[in-house]
Amino acid sequence: MKISSGTIRLIIPAASLVLLLAAVFYMQPRAMSYNGLNLLFNLAVPIALATIAQMLIMSVNDLDLSMGTFVSFCACVAATLLQTSPALGILILLGAIATYAVIGVVIHLRELPSIVVTLGMSFVWGGLAVLILPSPGGTAPAFARWIMTAKPPLVPMAIVASILIAAVTHTIVMRSSFGVLMRGVGGNDRSVERAGWSVIGIRAGTYALAGLFAVLAGIALVGLTTSADANIALRYTLLSIAGVILGGGEFVGGKVSPIGAVIGALTLTLAGSFLSFMRISPDWQIGAQGAILIVVLALRLALNRLEKREKSQ
């Protein structure tokens, strides 16, 4: 049977996740339990959601550098206003999603580099987060807390949530008509335009969808940590980009994989735990995490080159 290039793309991230998991289990067999797995992957859920949001932006050849501050902002709103006056909280979050759509339109109409616009927006979101929650605190809304601490039978919540996120986004991005148009804009926006579609509309929709997933990431994060802080998710900007790339996505060309992105987010979270189990001091952990990333990406480049060589023969 012929394996499609999309499947080949998924092999490396899946294999690295399995390898890391095996190494963790080898070093700490007690992690191989319901509670162990839940603890290992708990923090992966908001990261996976943020990674999906970043992946949506990347599927139309853009990059969102405000992801971290935006998720922080959403977490702050969720820990304060969504808790105290739900109607206002929901309104603010909806407004944030609408703002994302507007950003998409502005980037398209003015032909601005998305990196510059989102970098600017990152300061806006950061400032708003501080205004809403000047010092760390707040309380998680009951529903978020309930979802994130639920204990489904057999499989821990973190795994169920990851699979659910992967399945839903796979349907949206890879199977639905909108997903096809969105990836079409990333692949060749001129041909989408020539076929009579509104590229502005597609881009606005994509950004809004990304905003929605980022909002969900913020709420999920608060559900886990029970309180928020304006700088709670700053790492998410780079983590989400790394997750997309690790999961087989590419910066340009509309080549993305939602399943891969979720796997990438899981791998990144696991890499942190793995290094702790290795007793590598936290000073070195970030560097070691980077090294893991480089190894996986080098593997993928090698595989791509191999594939290309085979094709040209």
The answer to the question of residue 197 lying near other proteins (CB under 8 A) is yes
Contacts for 8-11: CB closer than 8 Å, 24+ residues apart: 8/303, 8/307, 9/248, 9/255, 9/257, 9/260, 10/247, 10/248, 10/257, 10/259, 10/260, 10/263, 11/303
Name the residue nearer to other proteins (CB basis): 184 or 211. Answer: 184
Is residue 2 near other proteins by the rule CB under 8 A? yes
- How many CA atoms are closer than 13 Å to the CA of 303, on its beta-carbon side? 16
Rounded to the nearest 10 degrees, the angle between the axes of helix 258-277 and helix 282-312 is 140
Among 136, 147, 255, 303, binds other proteins (CB under 8 A): 255
Shortest Å distance, C-beta 4 to other proteins: 6
Binding-site member from 156, 223, 254, 260 for other proteins (CB under 8 A): 254
Within 167-196, the residues that bind other proteins by CB under 8 A are: 175, 177, 180-181, 183-184, 186-188, 190-196
Q: Quick one: which H or E segment has residue 171?
A: none
How many helices and strands, by DSSP H and E, does the chain display? 14, 0
| Segment lying near other proteins (by CB under 8 A), choices 165-173, 210-218, 250-258, 280-288 | 250-258
Beta strands in 224-297 (DSSP E): none
Q: 178 or 277, CB closer to other proteins?
A: 178
Residue (116 or 142) nearer to other proteins, CB: 116
Query: CB-wise, 35 or 188, nearer to other proteins?
Result: 188
Q: How far is the CB of 256 from other proteins (least distance, A)?
A: 9
Residues linked to residue 137 through DSSP beta bridges, in sequence order: 228
At closest approach, how far in Å is the CB of 283 from other proteins?
A: 37
Contact 9, 261 (CB under 8 A): no
Q: Are 65 and 118 in contact (CB under 8 A)?
A: yes
Interface size with other proteins, residues (CB under 8 A): 25
Minimum CB distance to other proteins, residue 183 (Å): 6
DSSP state of 112: -
Q: Which residues bind other proteins (CB under 8 A)?
A: 2, 4-6, 175, 177, 180-181, 183-184, 186-188, 190-197, 253-255, 311
